[in-house]
Structure 1
C-alpha cells in the first residue's frame, strides 16, 4: 500500500478520503495510520514523550502514539469529509513536530514556483483570500496548516472550506462538514514548494502591504506555531523569520479582493526579482 499524501506525511487508513492525493511510492516521508474508536479514550494508557493526547473542540480525544505510528480518534465515527479537514490537521501537526518540522496555523499559495504562507487568526479571512486566488488560477498549496521543512512548504488536502461563498469567484463547491461549509476542490499539485516569504493578514483600510522587520516576523511566527507545547529549534525559527514578510491589510469588503490580488502579485513579483538579482 502506498497510502495518501497530506502535510508532508504518508497517511494510511484514509483510502476513501478523496480530498487527499495519492502518496508516491518510494518517498521518504514520515508515516501515520489514522484509526477511529467509537468510545472514550482508555484512561489507563500512560502518557510520556512517545504519546500525545488532545481534547478536541467537539469533545473527542485524539491519541497519537509515536512507537506504533498511529493516531486514534476516540468518539463518534467521523465521515471522510471531516477526516480530510479539519480532523487530519491535529495528528499531522504532532507527527510533523516529532519529525523536527515546523507547523503554522497558515495557508500557502505558489507564485513563480515559490510558496508564500498566509497567516492570521481564525477570523482573518485566510480561506476566503486563498479561494479568491484559486479562482484566478493561482495554485493553492494549503488552506489551514503550513508544514515547513528544509526551506519548503508541503501541500495539504486538496480543498478549501468556506463559511460563505466568495462573491464573483467562479468556483465549484459542495456542502461539507455537516452542512456548515462550502468545500472548494483544489487540483493536484507538487507535494512541496520552496518557501519565499510570509503574509500576515489583518483587517483595516487598504489594501496595503507593509514590510516587516525580521524581529517582528519572528514574534508573529512564534505566535502562529501549531501546538506550541511541543518545542521548536530557535535557530530554525530565526531562519524562517529572515525571509521576506509583510503585513497585508485589506478592508472587509469583497470588492477589494481584486485590488488585494493585484497588490499581492506586485509584492511577490518584486520579491522574486530581488531574489533573482542576488549573487549565487
Structure 2
C-alpha cells in the first residue's frame, strides 16, 4: 500500500515529498488524500462530523471531507515543502480528531524510548529548543503538532522550521517557506512512541524547571488543543493531565540554551526512571 506517513495518517498525494517518511505496511491507519484547487473557493461551513471547511490565516480555504477521505487546499498553489510543513498539520488535526484522537499545538522529543511534549505559543521558542535537542542527538518526533492516541504520540514530518538560525548548532539546513525559514532535516524515527510527560514553555529568569500539579496541567492542555472548536473527550484530557508536567522558564538569550537543554533532558530522564 502506497502513501507517506505523518501525524498517525497514511497521506496520499505527497509521495515525492522528502520530509515525510514512507507509510508503514498495514491498513490500520486513517487515510487522507491531499489535493489543491485554484478555482472558486468554498464558503466556510459550521462544524460538521463529515465535512470541515475552514478559512486559513493566509486567506486560503481548506475543505476536509470525511466520506471521500480528501483534504483540498483552495487558493494559490503550494509547493511540496509547504504542503509537508506547516500546511499538512491543518487537515491532520481534523482527520485525527474525527477518529477520536487528541491533538495539541506542541513539539515532541524522545528520551529512553518515551516521548515528551513541548507546548507553548508560536513565539515560545519550541522549534529552537527542539533543534538544540536534535543537535544533542535527541530524537525529535514532531515540530508542530502532537497527535495523541492509545497512550502514545505520533511522529510528524521529518523537519524543524526555524525563523532564524540558532547560533552554534551544527545541523544541516536549507531555505524553506519561500525563504522565510531555515529548515533543519530530521532522521527517521519510530512512528508511535509512548507519551511520558508535558513541558510548558514560558519566558522569564532562569532557566528553571518547576513541577506542575495535575489541575494546572489540565487547564493548560485544554488551552493548547489544536482547533479547540472541535470537541474533545474530557476523560481523555483528565488522563493526559495525570502525566508528569513541568513549566520551563528561561530567558530570551541564546547563551541559556545549553543549560535549558540539560534541564529538559534531566526531567525527561527522571520521568523515564533513568539516572540524569
Give TM-score, length-normalised by structure 1. 0.95
Q: Structure 1: state its 5+ residue gaps.
A: none
Does the alignment pair 1:263 with 2:254? Answer: no
* Local SS of the residue matching 2:246: strand
- Per the TM alignment, residue 42 of structure 1 is displaced from its structure 2 partner at its CA by 3.9
Does the alignment pair 1:115 with 2:115? Answer: yes
Q: 1:167 to 1:43 in 2, by over 3 A?
A: closer
**What are the Cα deviations for residues 47-79 of structure 1, in whole angstroms up to 9, with x where unaligned?**
743100110111110000011000000011110
> What is aligned with 2:71?
71
- Per the TM alignment, residue 272 of structure 1 is displaced from its structure 2 partner at its CA by 1.8
* Local SS of the residue matching 2:16: coil
Contact kept in structure 2, 1:2 and 1:24, CA below 8 Å: no
> Over aligned residues, Cα RMSD in angstroms?
1.6
Distance in 1, matches of 2:17 and 2:44, equals 32
Distance in 2, matches of 1:153 and 1:271, equals 16
Q: How does 1:99-110 map to 2 (within 5 A)?
A: 99-110=99-110
> What is aligned with 1:183?
183
**What are the Cα deviations for residues 31-58 of structure 1, in whole angstroms up to 9, with x where unaligned?**
0000100122245999743100110111
Distance in 2, matches of 1:51 and 1:270, equals 43
> What is aligned with 1:31?
31
* Local SS of the residue matching 2:227: coil
Q: 1:271 to 1:81 in 2, by over 3 A?
A: same
Contact kept in structure 1, 2:34 and 2:70, CA below 8 Å: yes
Distance in 2, matches of 1:273 and 1:197, equals 12
Distance in 2, matches of 1:55 and 1:44, equals 6
Q: How does 1:168-207 map to 2 (within 5 A)?
A: 168-207=168-207
- Per the TM alignment, residue 17 of structure 1 is displaced from its structure 2 partner at its CA by 1.0
**What are the Cα deviations for residues 91-136 of structure 1, in whole angstroms up to 9, with x where unaligned?**
0000000000000000000000000000001100000000000000
Distance in 2, matches of 1:102 and 1:5, equals 18
Q: How does 1:165-244 map to 2 (within 5 A)?
A: 165-244=165-244
* Local SS of the residue matching 2:219: helix
* Local SS of the residue matching 1:168: coil
Q: 1:2 to 1:245 in 2, by over 3 A?
A: same
Q: How does 1:117-132 map to 2 (within 5 A)?
A: 117-132=117-132
Distance in 2, matches of 1:197 and 1:46, equals 34
> What is aligned with 2:52?
52
* Local SS of the residue matching 1:166: coil
Does the alignment pair 1:145 with 2:145? Answer: yes
Give TM-score, length-normalised by structure 2. 0.97
> What is aligned with 2:251?
251
Q: 1:48 to 1:146 in 2, by over 3 A?
A: closer
> What is aligned with 1:5?
5
